[in-house]
Amino acid sequence: MALLTASPQMPTTNKRVSLIIFVVATLLLVGLVPLVMTGWLLSEKSGRELRSAENRYQIQLVQEKARQIEMFGRRWTSIVSGLSTALELANDPAVISSAQTEIKLGSILREQPELVALYVKPANSDSLSVFRSGSMTREQVEAIAVEMGAYQGRTKIRAGEPKQVGANGHSVMPFASTVTLNGERAADIVAIASLQQISQGVVGMNAANEADLWKAGLPMVFVVIPRR
C-alpha cells in the first residue's frame, strides 16, 4: 500500500508574503517618495517666496521712513528759506527787526503746530522771537539760536543736532538760514521744530494696547505659552 504525502505549503506562503511586501514597497516607492519630494520642493519654494516678500517689505518700509525724514527736513528748511528770501527781497535792514516781521513770525507759529519756536537775530539790533512757552523757555531758544548762529559754513541753510528741551525733555531739531544784504550777513533765522510726530511715524514711539488695536481693526496674533 502506497503512502500519499502532502506537498509542503511553507514555500508558497513565503512567496506570497514576499510578493505582498514587494507590492507594498513598490506602492510606497511610487506614491510616497514623489509626494515627499513634491512637498519638500513646495516648502522650499514657499520659503524662498516668503523671504523674498519679507525683503521687499523691509525695503519698502525703509524707503517710506527715509521719505518721511526727507519731507520733514524739506518742510522746515523751506520755512526758514522762505523767510530769509522775503527779507532779502525787502532789501531793508529795518524790516528785519520791524513789528510787521514779529507779527509774521507769530502767524507762522500759529499755523504750524509742530513748530516750537522762531527766532530772528539781526546783525545790529535786538532779536525777535516767538515760541511755545509750554515746550521750552526763552533761554533755551536763545541758546539754540546762538549755537546755530555761530556756524560759519558756506551753506546758507543748515540743520542742527536734535536736542531735548523743557521739563519733559521734549525732543526738537533746529533749522537755520542766513539773510544776506549787499553781500553781508544781515541776520540769522532759526526755526525749532518738534520731533514728536516724526519720531512716532519713523520709530513708532507710542505703544498701542490690545484694545486700541482691536478698535482700529488691525490683526492681532496671540501667543500662548503652556505652563510647565
In a domain, 43, yes or no: no
In a domain, 16, yes or no: no
Over the stretch 132-181, which tens digit does the pLDDT of each residue have? 988 888 999 999 999 888 876 667 888 888 888 877 788 899 999 999 99
- Taking each continuous run of H as one helix and of E as one strand, the counts in the chain are 7, 6
Q: Are 157 and 176 in contact (CB under 8 A)?
A: yes
Return the closest-CA partner of residue 122 out of 155, 97, 142, 86. 97
Q: What is the CATH number of the domain that holds 154?
A: 3.30.450.20
In a domain, 8, yes or no: no
Q: Are 119 and 189 in contact (CB under 8 A)?
A: yes
Q: Are 120 and 128 in contact (CB under 8 A)?
A: yes
Please tell me the total count of domains within the chain: 1
In a domain, 28, yes or no: no
- Whether this prediction's pTM lies above 0.85 is answered by no
In a domain, 76, yes or no: yes
Over the stretch 197-210, which tens digit does the pLDDT of each residue have? 877 766 654 444 44
Domain that holds residue 162: 65-202
In a domain, 44, yes or no: no
